[in-house]
Amino acid sequence: MLVPVRITSALIDPALLDLPWSAPLEEWPADQLVALPQGISRHVVRFVRLGDTVYAVKETGERVAEREYNLLRSLERIDFPSVEAVAIVADRQAPDGEPLDPVLITRHLQFSLPYRALFSHTLRPETMTRLLDALAVLLVRMHLTGFFWGDCSLSNTLFRRDAGAFAAYLVDAETGALHGRLSAGQRGEDLEIARVNIFGEALDLQAAGLLHDAIDPETVCEEVVRRYEGLWHEITYEQQIERDHRHDIEGRIRRLNDLGFDVAEVAMSLVDDGRYLVRPKVVDAGHHSRRLLRLTGLDAEENQARQLLNNLDAYRAESSLTDEEQAAHRWLTEVFEPVVRAVPARLRRKLEPQEIFAQIIEHKWLLSEQSGRDVGMAPAVHSYLSDVLEHRPDEQAVLGAEVPAGIGAETPAG
């Protein structure tokens, strides 16, 4: 017998109605679940695949679910890097009439990994550095947006590969709050929470033998704060510029663009000694991603977009094309799409197409350096597919249909 439930959703997937809502998540049958790597969580979380989409289902309190759902929807409207809220399912009951906790449903972020999956073996210090950089950028973007996280941690973050780096996404917003602007005290509180949480997570990894001997847990948590403060300063500091060095303003904007941030306007004032005080207004990250999307329609992470645009610009120069949009169209059809089509179907689940292309560009450069000449794109593609991609694990959403013991079980927060 179907037990009626109440579903709040902007756009409901009818297949969600067929899930076993009258059973607690921890009792859901394995044949309806997907085995995915999972971070530490206070709640019971399960992954289900409906058609081509994977959803994360989390049991929580109704007011908490409503608050997190609304926050994630608000972050989605401003194009913030976070998981997408899909629905709240409330008024759940067991067949004997016992009330069950509501659930929040989010869309699983494809090709993303929780930090513990990246630490399935001892991680190199350089990889840890890239994770910390990604988390620092996420925090800066968050605070520029006016979002107070309240529980910043590696556990509450998903990571996607981004052309040799990582891009970080917020995955848990239940303690967050969106304001017009954050005070220095609110930002400081978020940083202190991040410091404590990350220290505990690093100690946990160390105890499990998954932390490289060269990585000190205390240094890890301090590094996140140091990287955040350096980036925040570069974006927000008020710069003094001599009157005859006004080109330095353009240099400042270019540095911010290189960091991936767009500048909406520049506030300038003249001080008594004839110098200018300059403060740029940074509106958002994603400078290169937006340019790539505008020119080609490709949606990529920031570092991926930077590499693809560099390749596009080189193609444009070699082709002597003056029109940027015409060059982008020809590059897409003559360079990018043939490379993507060359990837065999059995390997396409390894990495997303933009990441594969970015890695092939890097692989081509390495081969060319070794041989002392440009090896060309076709040999580089063949070498990358056989020598690199063939040996990578799959990173697409669905890893299997059966849940191994311990996967997805409730785990206390760190």
Parse the chain into domains and list their residue ranges.
6-108, 113-236, 239-285, 292-391
List the chain pLDDT tens, one digit each, 414 residues: 455 778 887 777 788 888 899 999 999 988 888 877 666 667 888 999 888 888 999 999 989 999 999 999 999 888 889 999 999 999 999 888 899 999 999 998 888 888 877 775 656 777 788 888 889 889 988 998 899 999 999 889 999 888 777 889 999 998 999 998 999 999 999 999 999 999 998 898 888 888 888 888 998 889 899 989 988 888 887 777 776 665 677 677 777 777 766 665 566 667 666 676 766 665 556 777 888 888 898 888 888 888 898 888 888 888 877 788 888 999 999 999 999 999 998 888 888 899 999 999 999 989 998 988 889 899 999 999 999 998 887 655 433 333 333 333 333 333
According to the CATH classification, is domain 6-108 in 3.40.50? no
For residue 120, the model assigns a pLDDT of 59
Among the listed residues 260, 301, 279, the one whose alpha carbon sits nearest the alpha carbon of residue 137: 260
pLDDT of residue 1: 44
Phi/psi at 241 (nearest 5 deg)?
A: -130, 135
Say which CATH class 113-236 falls into.
mainly alpha
Question: Quick one: pLDDT at residue 401?
Answer: 34
CA-based torsion, 220, 226, 228, 230: positive or negative: negative
Q: What is the structure's pLDDT at 406? A: 34
In the chain, % of residues over pLDDT 70: 84
What lies within 8 Å, CB to CB, of 245 at 6+ separation is: none
**48 with 13: CB under 8 angstroms?**
no
DSSP, residue by residue, 345-370: GGGTTTS-HHHHHHHHHHHHHHHHHH
For residue 165, the number of C-alpha atoms closer than 13 Å in the C-beta half-sphere is 17
Contact of 81 with 166, CB cutoff 8 Å: no
**Tell me, what's the pLDDT at 186?**
96
Cα atoms in the 13 Å half-sphere on the side-chain side of 386: 6
A 10 A CB-CB count for 26 gives: 12
CA–CA separation, 115 vs 394, rounded Å?
A: 16
pLDDT for position 398: 38
How far is the C-alpha of 66 from the C-alpha of 174, rounded, in Å?
9
Q: Which of 48, 52, 85 is nearest to 69 (CA)?
A: 85
Question: Residue 257 in contact with residue 263, Cβ under 8 Å?
Answer: yes
